[in-house]
Amino acid sequence: MNVHAPALANAHLPDQQTTAFAQDVVADLAQHPKRLSPKYFYDATGSDLFEAITRLPEYYPTRTELGILRDRGEEIAAIMPEHAALIEFGAGATTKVRLLLQTCKFAAYVPVDISGDFLNAQADALRRDFPDLAVHPVTADFTTQFKLPDAVREMPKVGFFPGSTIGNFEPHEACRFLRSARDILGAGALMIVGADLEKDERILHHAYNDAEGVTARFNLNLLVRINRELGGNFDLSGFIHRAIYNREHHRIEMHLVSRKPQTVRLLGTSFAFRAGESIHTENSYKYSIERFGALARGSGWKVRTTWTDAAKMFSVHALVAEG
Ligand code: AVJ
């Protein structure tokens, strides 16, 4: 009997996504060092925990970026083409895009996200609040070459990639993503990208090791999800959250560290852990304005304007796609 069948059958994901999750987890835990992809943090509980993180006093990125978008609203609106389509790569909470939609007059909004249900619920709410806006959600992995809806084909395009989600990518992946976005949006398109900045390491440390332990729960929820959806038997008390700043690579690394020698089983495979052995679950790259500019230029974009908050904690860049 396949003891894992019930877990898979109960999964709340479409089969294809569950299969990708299963394949990635089994392959990534077989690596040395072990790792897991941060893209799997965001099940329902993980999305709620991330929302809680964005409200923590220590987690400055979300409120700082919102402050920049609010304070620079007029400047941003001034460079937007008329009757343009706003294409958002990945769609979480709508707080930031609502700000843009209020200050700039877009003809259409195209949120692109892998989670179709969430996307459609969001689209309905936006249609209610912005009756003149054409909302065309696209269910796709935004890192792939998805197709834009025909309805926006003739409109000027503006990409939107807030939140420093770009920091989750390795530099070569960030380059590949920006090139792909350039190909999808076309020459002359604009793109608004948020990128977290390098800063005092103590500030970074507290942002990813908050006093309430919300980030720890967010990290550990990945194991909860594996247990539920893939029939894993991770003992949650056997792992601790660790976030450290890697100075050489300019990134925060999140890890789940095994407190003891232990063996975990999932999908018919065993994974042995030494005491102190870690699973690397996330990189969150921090950019200098210069390094972000170099990344953009090396990926087919020109930096039109860069905005930061007064304390230079976070940056928002307006990029223009080269011909
Ligand atoms: C959503 C990728 C921008 O890197 O700060 C927050 C995710 N991880 N706390 C980040 C996250 C731990 C977040 N991003």
Report how far residue 250's alpha carbon sits from residue 252's, in angstroms, rounded to the nearest whole number.
Answer: 7
46 lines ligand 1 (CB under 6 A): no
Adjacency order of strands within the sheet including 278-285 = 34-35, 278-285, 251-258, 239-246
Give the model confidence (pLDDT) of 176-199 as tens digits: 999 999 999 999 999 999 999 999
Give the Å distance between the CA of 132 and the centre of ligand 1.
33
Ligand 1 atom at minimum distance from 218 CA: 12
Mean of per-residue pLDDT scores for the chain:
94
In 3D space, the residue among 5, 14, 39 whose CA is nearest the CA of residue 222 turns out to be: 39
Rounded to the nearest angstrom, the distance between the alpha carbon of 54 and the centre of ligand 1 is 9
Q: Which residue, by CA, sits nearest to atom 5 of ligand 1?
A: 284
Q: How far is the CA of 194 from the centre of ligand 1 (A)?
A: 12
- How far apart, in whole angstroms, are the C-alpha atoms of residue 110 and residue 115? 14
Q: What is the pLDDT of residue 14?
A: 56
Confidence (pLDDT) at 117:
82
Report the distance separating Cα 241 and Cα 218, nearest Å.
9
How much is the pLDDT for 9? 43
pLDDT (0 to 100) of residue 104: 94
Q: 143 alpha carbon to ligand 1 midpoint, in Å?
A: 17
pLDDT at 29 over 60: yes
Instruction: Give which of 14, 163, 170 is closest to 88, Cα–Cα.
Output: 163
Asked whether 290 and 315 are in contact (CB, 8 A), the reply is no
Q: Please work out whether the CB of residue 53 comes within 6 Å of at least one atom of ligand 1.
A: yes
Give the model confidence (pLDDT) of 236-264 as tens digits.
Answer: 999 999 999 999 999 999 999 999 999 99
Residue minimizing CA distance to atom 14 of ligand 1: 165
Residue 12: pLDDT band with limits 50, 70, 90: low
b/e code 290-309 from CB counts within 10 Å (16+ = b):
ebbbebbeebbbebeebbbb
247 alpha carbon – ligand 1 mean position (Å): 17
Over the stretch 37-78, which tens digit does the pLDDT of each residue have? 999 999 999 999 999 999 999 999 999 999 999 999 999 999
| pLDDT of amino acid 3 | 38
Take residue 62 and report the two structure tokens written for it.
Answer: 């979300």
Nearest CA to ligand 1 atom 10: 284
* pLDDT value for 78: 97
| Integer Cα distance of 5 and 28 in angstroms | 21
pLDDT at 11 over 50: no
Interval 193-218 mean pLDDT: 98
Contact 208 CB / ligand 1 (< 6 Å): yes
| Residue 157 clears pLDDT 60, i.e. is over it | yes
What per-residue confidence (pLDDT) applies to 116?
Answer: 80
Cα of 156 to ligand 1 centre, how many Å?
A: 31
300 ligand 1 Cβ < 6 A: no
DSSP for residue 258: E
How many A from CA of 220 to the centre of ligand 1? Answer: 14
Ligand 1 atom nearest to 164, measured from its CA: 3
Between CA 134 and CA 130 the distance in angstroms is 9
Res 91: pLDDT: 83
Does 6 sit behind a cis peptide bond, omega within 30 degrees of 0 on the bond before it? no
Instruction: Judge contact between 167 and 196, C-beta under 8 A.
Output: yes
- 269 band by pLDDT with thresholds 50, 70 and 90: very high
Contact in structure between 80 and 318 (CB atoms under 8 Å): no
Q: Given the CA of residue 61, which atom of ligand 1 is nearest to it? A: 5
313/210 Cα distance (integer angstroms): 17
How confident is the model at residue 1, as a pLDDT? Answer: 36
Residues 188, 79: contact at Cβ < 8 Å?
A: no
Of the pLDDT bands very low, low, confident and very high (cuts 50, 70, 90), residue 172 is very high
Contact by Cβ (8 Å): 216, 313: no
